[in-house]
A and B are shown apart, each in its own frame.
Chain A
Amino acid sequence: MIKSIQELEEIRKKALEELEFRKQQGEGIRIVVGMATCGIAAGARPVMLKFVEEIQKRNLKNVTVVQTGCIGLCKYEPIVEVYEPNKEKVTYVKMTPEKVSKVVAEHIVNGKPVYEYTIGYEENKEANK
């Protein structure tokens, strides 16, 4: 299955450099995607992969994307939580791959959460219906 051991060796070298960089940077941003039955059915998989892809594309070495189980708010799935060190958690709801691009550009890169995608905005909207 492995095309060439040499190729993987090179990846290993690159990977070790990435690891070293992460260690030096200390705690980074953590993006958590809800991936229980409700999340999956609502489209969490393309959302999570879009995060991975954007982060790779922009070479953001200090950001990790992980998955979790049911967050407990199934009607708002796919749900994504962004944890930044020393900041309050931001919860994004009804995420789509298109929304991910904006969240990465504005929130992850520039530090400005996208309010219209947050749970607070969504709940306000519903309360005012």
Chain B
Amino acid sequence: MNELSLYILDLVQNSIEAGATFVKIEIVEDLENDIFLISIEDNGRGIPKELINEVTNPFYTTRKTRKVGLGLALASQLAKDCNGKLIIDSSENGTKVKIKLQHSHIDRPPIGNIVDTLLLLVCGTPDVDFVYVHRAGKKEFVFDTNKLKSVLGEGVPLNLPSVQEFIKEELSKGLSNLFGGANFND
């Protein structure tokens, strides 16, 4: 995978599979300390203690369709490649996966199309609440589906075309502001 946004899409699918109803995705770009931090926190059923050391092994998976699971294995490799580390914190109340990377590392993939990732997650799983926080230096962008839902009211799912369009615009604008006008929609 050549974009960090694809790793995020993949890992959040784990949260959804784990029955999460809330997922918080946080990105911190700390240039001063040369850190690129991705954190994904959910309220899913968690990873059993005895398996916590197994999950980055590509030959461990809970899925039934095949015998390998690459999501966390790839994330772990990514961390190794970029002079960083993968930290998994899990209890029965949820899981927090943190990927810490060296921001300036030559092998660190670009964030890529994070708008598309978020749009798919938010609209593809309308029953899950998402919070996205992206900090770059002193600037911060926060996107919270709960705020949208409170205005839209009960019974209007986020995956209706008109709502999707609105979400896409909000995300593009927000992220573009964060990076002084760069286009995040390609």
Q: Which of B24-32, B40-48, B97-105, B140-148 contacts A (4 or more CB under 8 A)?
A: B140-148
**Contacting pair A35 B164 (CB below 8 A):** no
Query: How far in angstroms is the closest Cβ of chain B from A26?
Result: 17
> Main SS of the interface on chain B?
helix
Query: How far in angstroms is the closest Cβ of chain A from B26?
Result: 16
Q: Which residues of B lie under 8 Å from residue A3 when comparing CB positions?
A: 170
B144's closest neighbor in chain A, by CB? A1
A34's closest neighbor in chain B, by CB? B65
**Contacting pair B71 A37 (CB below 8 A):** yes
Given contacts A45-B117, A46-B116, A66-B124, contact A18 B151 (CB under 8 A): no
- In this complex, the member of B10, B71, B170 whose beta carbon has the largest number of chain A beta carbons within 10 angstroms is B10
B52 at interface by CB-CB < 8 Å: no
Q: Which residues of B lie under 8 Å from residue A109 when comparing CB positions?
A: none
Q: Which residues of B lie under 8 Å from residue A1 when comparing CB positions?
A: 142-144, 147, 170, 174
A74 at interface by CB-CB < 8 Å: yes
In B1-41, the 8 Å CB interface with A consists of: 1, 6, 9-10, 13, 17
**Contacting pair B153 A12 (CB below 8 A):** yes
For the complex, what is the distance from the CA of A15 to the CA of B159, rounded to whole Å? 10
For the complex, what is the distance from the CA of A7 to the CA of B173, rounded to whole Å? 15
B53 at interface by CB-CB < 8 Å: no
- Beyond A12-B156, A69-B17, list 4 extra A-B contacts (CB 8 Å): A1-B170, A1-B174, A2-B147, A9-B151
13 contacts between A and B (CB under 8 A): A1-B174, A8-B152, A11-B163, A12-B153, A19-B155, A19-B156, A19-B160, A36-B63, A52-B123, A52-B161, A56-B161, A59-B161, A69-B17
